[in-house]
Amino acid sequence: MTKKNVSADGLIAVILKAIDEVKGLDIQLLDLREIENTVCDYFIISTGTSNTHVNAISSAIQKQVGKISKEKPWHVEGEGNAEWILIDYVNVVVHVFQKQIRDYYDIESLWGDAKITEIASAN
């Protein structure tokens, strides 16, 4: 959970860096704060190329967030089949998909009113 000493911006920066370090693809940040009745303030969405890559992205996020901020996710779901892993840090929810699953669910369209920022890879 996000604690008072860790800002959402700080958490997002750590998550984005972790995704980039393991070469996550098509990274997007959805700002949901202007939308009524949302479950969180931000979604971060990324794509992995395989079950192994999706698990690596998820592990890197959890390891880096834990190391930098001592935060643990409130909930993690989907690690068993690694087609879509959801990592819930309460105000920031991370979705790591395999491409075909991301295309199928198209959550960016479901949250079309959100401000969407494409995140360029540093690698």
Residue 2 has pLDDT above 90, yes or no: no
Q: Vertex 58, ends 22 and 35: CA angle to 5°?
A: 110
Tens of pLDDT, residue by residue over 3-62, are: 445 688 999 999 999 999 999 999 999 999 999 888 899 999 999 999 999 999 999 999
What sign has the CA pseudo-torsion 115, 47, 8, 86?
positive
Q: How confident is the model at residue 123 (pLDDT cuts 50, 70, 90)?
A: low
Q: How far apart are CA 64 and CA 70, in angstroms?
A: 9
Full set of structural domains in the chain with CATH: 8-119 (3.30.460.10)
Tens of pLDDT, residue by residue over 90-118, are: 999 999 999 999 999 999 998 888 999 99
Q: How far apart are CA 98 and CA 20, in angstroms?
A: 16
SS3 72: coil
